[in-house]
Structure 1
Amino acid sequence: MEVVVKPLWPSEPPRGVGYGSLLRVERGIARRAMVIDGEPHLAEAAWQGDRVHLRGSHERAVERLRFMLALDDDLAPFHRAFRSDPLLGRVMRGLPKLRVLRVPDPFEALAWGVIFQLIDVQRAGQIAWAFTRAHGVQHESGLWTAPPRAAFENAAALEACGLAPTQARTLARVARVPIERAGTVSGVGEWTLAQLQLFGEGRYDVALARDVGIRNAYARMIGVRTGSVSEDAFREALDRYAPWQGLAAQYMIAIGWRSGARYESVHALRPR
């Protein structure tokens, strides 16, 4: 299947590989393998001018990649509202095409979310990749699909790939319940549900105040010591961008890792 899309807001190839590191971006072409009806399929996207050319071996694979890249999201209201914002305005003008890079399936986002509860992001990535290599499917292109949901029901297999026993049991329980009941599982809290909502369901109005990495990026932006911003203070800062907190957080990550990032004005600290 092939389709040409003109995104509602200008787009560009992703700058990262997303949750699970299963997206490959080379020479302006993004590729992702995924399982559809029990078989591995490949979808890819190529940017040409203001159009994105999508093609894949299955219609649903193309649809899922289109969702991953947020090509149908109109981001104009966010940019109109905040392009002059004293905190994010400069980076928004510099990176106007930045998007949230999603995953093709809600459960996949939830599963990676449980694994990435680890503060050590590098270690979490190693565990996710080990589990993918052990239980995913390698497409003929060389790309790997995410492991099937049933594989995550096996706590012992998760532990064998390095996940702590408590998290392994949590993830195994999550895999056995309907996605809408994930919040009832012990060990799944606000942060993990936000990963599901932002990366798996495409929502932007998500609660990210407990995300230590984003909170530290925000701290760097306002010129204070990392770890010194409370959850309540960060929640208040994010709520200034409602209902676009998830996209605002992506911009905080984009600029907050750089040394010297600061507010353009001290007035940005005032609630509005």
Structure 2
Amino acid sequence: MQQVVAQHGFTLSLPADYHAATALAYHGRDPAGPAERWQGNRLDKGLLLHGAPLLLQLEFDAGQVHAVFSGSALMDWPALLPAAEPAVRRMLGLDGQRENWQALAESRPAVARLLAGRPALWLPLTAEPFEALCWAIIGQQINLSFATSLRRSLIQLAGLPIAGCALLAHPGPAEVAALQPEQLTALRFSRSKAAYLLGAARAVLDGSLPLAALAGQSASEAERQLLALHGVGPWTARYVMLRGLGFADCAPIGDSGLATALQRFHALPQRPDARQTEQLMQAFAPCRSLATLHLWASLSENT
């Protein structure tokens, strides 16, 4: 029996100089991703909203974005809808960080040089924090192409179907925690990576890692709790804080791309190590998250 699908939409006005391509490229970065499709000015994203599998359609048009959530009509939509706009705003990076970053450029030469006439970027976040945690663990010590393949496999294995849609919602902690290690190792996950991922999901599920609540704590406390998780090191913790929790002053120390970008930015003879990277990023405090995004972006520029 075919499920009845309900749709609920709204339109958000965007800043006059909003750069939609940043959000579209981030969320649609895997062309074969089973949870997202990006075409032109439109993004379709399968996600969980308070545990409910939904399709989010975002379409950018002349200073605004049209957002439509769709899913089974049997879901408790009155309970879900208050979370809809905040989810879109976090995915688009509309959290005020950019204004602070632009203001910092007026008083900080390093920031002004990093911008150097380029538009200040926004910092898109994952649809929910657990998605960033999964990606950070999956991406440990492997190249981007392999990490993308593993993420795709995880979503195909544990993602949730969405009524009326071919995309899957990225799995939540309950779906990942229910997996067996052998299911992941059969998909080319290493034994250690499988164990870290399942352990993280179980910690979020049982409340020993209150992931969503970490965004309301201090950065040092959030990092402490993330580092207490088996298999989570400084890079993983910082990435989750940056892309999943939205901390404004967070640099993923140990990231090879960040180190390479800093080497180019400062014309250093060699890539800085973790200690040197930490020191160099101090010049961008308290906006090291957006500084990281700009440094990453600089790697694709002609030099």
For residues 195 and 148 of structure 1, the distance between their equivalents in structure 2, rounded to whole angstroms, comes to 18
Query: Are 1:242 and 2:285 counterparts?
Result: yes
Question: What SS does structure 2 have at the residue aligned with 1:96?
Answer: coil
Distance in 2 (CA, whole Å) between partners of 1:209 and 1:19 is 25
Structure 1 residue 168: Cα displacement: 1.2
Q: Which residue does 1:132 correspond to in 2?
A: 155
User: Among residues 276, 285, 303, which one is paired with 1:233 in the alignment?
Assistant: 276
Partners of 1:19 and 1:159 in 2: how far apart?
26
In structure 2, relative to structure 1, the CA distance for the partners of 1:98 and 1:24 (3 Å cut) is farther
1:13 shift after superposition:
1.8
Within the alignment, does 1:198 sit opposite 2:198 as a pair? no
Counting only pairs closer than 5 Å after superposition, residues 61-140 of structure 1 correspond to structure 2 as 61-82=84-105, 89=112, 92=115, 95-96=118-119, 98-139=121-162, 140=164
- Aligned residue for 1:126, secondary structure, equals helix
The residue identity in structure 1 corresponding to 2:58 is A
Aligned pair 1:170/2:177, yes or no? no
Aligned-partner residue type, residue 197 of structure 2: L
Q: Say yes or no: does 1:209 pair with 2:253.
A: yes
Q: 1:90-124: per-residue Cα shift (whole Å, max 9, x none)?
A: 66365425222211111221111111112312111
Supply the distance in 2 between the matched residues of 1:93 and 1:25 (Cα, whole angstroms).
30
Whether the 8 Å contact between 2:249 and 2:287 is mirrored in structure 1 is: yes
SS in 2 for 1:33: strand
**Distance in 2 separating the partners of 1:53 and 1:71:** 15
Equivalenced residue count is 259
The answer to whether the 8 A contact 1:17-1:24 is kept is no
Which deviates the most, 125-134 or 148-157? 148-157
Residue 261 of structure 2 is aligned to residue 254 of structure 1:
no
Q: CA deviation at 1:31?
A: 2.5
AA of the residue aligned to 1:162: R
Structure 1: any 5+ residue segments left out of the alignment?
A: 261-272
Tell me which stretches of 4 or more aligned residues in structure 1 moved more than 6 Å.
Answer: none
Alignment equivalent of 1:188, drawn from 214, 224, 232? 232
Q: Which region of structure 1 is more displaced relative to structure 2, 177-186 or 117-126?
A: 177-186
Q: Is the 8 A contact 2:92 2:125 kept in 1?
A: yes
Aligned to 1:266: none
| Residue 205 to residue 217, structure 1, CA distance change in 2 (3 Å) | same
2:45 to 18, 28, 32: 32
Report the secondary structure of 2:137's partner residue: helix
Kept in 1: contact 2:110–2:284 (CA 8 A): no
Aligned-partner Cα distance in 2 for 1:55–1:5: 11
* Cα pair 2:133 2:240 within 8 Å, conserved: yes
- Mapped to 1, the partners of 2:242 and 2:148 lie a distance apart of 19
The alignment's TM-score, normalised by the length of structure 1, stands at 0.82
CA contact (8 A) 1:7 1:51 kept: yes
Q: What residue identity is the alignment partner of 1:152?
A: V
Write the distance in 1 (CA, Å) between the matches of 2:301 and 2:64. Answer: 31
* Change beyond 3 A, Cα 1:47–1:80: same
Measure how far apart 1:241 and its partner are: 1.1
Alignment-mate amino acid for residue 17 of structure 1: Y
Q: Contact 2:15–2:63 at 8 Å: present in 1 too?
A: no
Q: Does residue 1:45 correspond to 2:71, yes or no?
A: no
Higher strand proportion: 2
Q: Once superposed, what is the RMSD of the aligned Cα atoms?
A: 2.7
Distance 2:101 2:252 in 1: 18
Do the aligned partners of residues 9 and 103 (structure 1) sit closer, same or farther apart at CA in structure 2, a change above 3 Å counting?
Answer: farther
Match of residue 12 from structure 1: 19
Secondary structure of the 1:14 match is helix
**Structure 2 stretches of 5 or more lacking a match?**
1-7, 71-79, 211-224
Give, in whole Å, the separation in 2 of the partners of 1:11 and 1:133: 33
Q: Amino acid of the residue matched to residue 124 of structure 2?
A: L
1:20 and 1:112 in contact (8 A); partners too? no
Inter-partner Cα distance in structure 1 for 2:15 and 2:157: 39
Report the equivalent of 1:148. Answer: 172
For residues 238 and 50 of structure 2, what CA distance do their matches in structure 1 show? 27
Counterpart residue type for residue 56 of structure 2: A
User: TM (normalized to structure 2)?
Assistant: 0.75
Aligned residue number for residue 159 of structure 1: 185
